[in-house]
């Protein structure tokens, strides 16, 4: 999922270079959403991953 966040970030940068304003906004929005979703899932997996192993 983090891979897709970087892909959309690169699309946004390339679109910004060529001057496509609408595409830039959409790609940046998707990249931000995926990045924060990845961070939340990472933190949740850290919390629940530690809880499951301790016996």
- Structure token pair of residue 33: 């959403």
Confidence of residue 50 (pLDDT cuts 50, 70, 90): confident
- pLDDT at residue number 5: 77
Convert the pLDDT of each residue in 8-24 to its tens digit. 788 888 887 877 777 77
Confidence of residue 51 (pLDDT cuts 50, 70, 90): low
Any idea what DSSP says for residue 20? Answer: -
- pLDDT at residue number 54: 55
Q: What is the pTM of this model?
A: 0.57
Distance separating alpha carbons of residues 3 and 38, to the nearest angstrom: 10
Any idea what DSSP says for residue 19? Answer: T
């Amino acid at each position: 999922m983090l891979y897709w966040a970087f892909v959309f970030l690169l699309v946004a940068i390339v679109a910004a270079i060529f001057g496509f304003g609408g595409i830039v906004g959409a790609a940046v929005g998707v990249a931000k959403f995926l990045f924060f979703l990845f961070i939340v899932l990472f933190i949740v997996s850290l919390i629940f991953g530690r809880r499951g192993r301790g016996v």
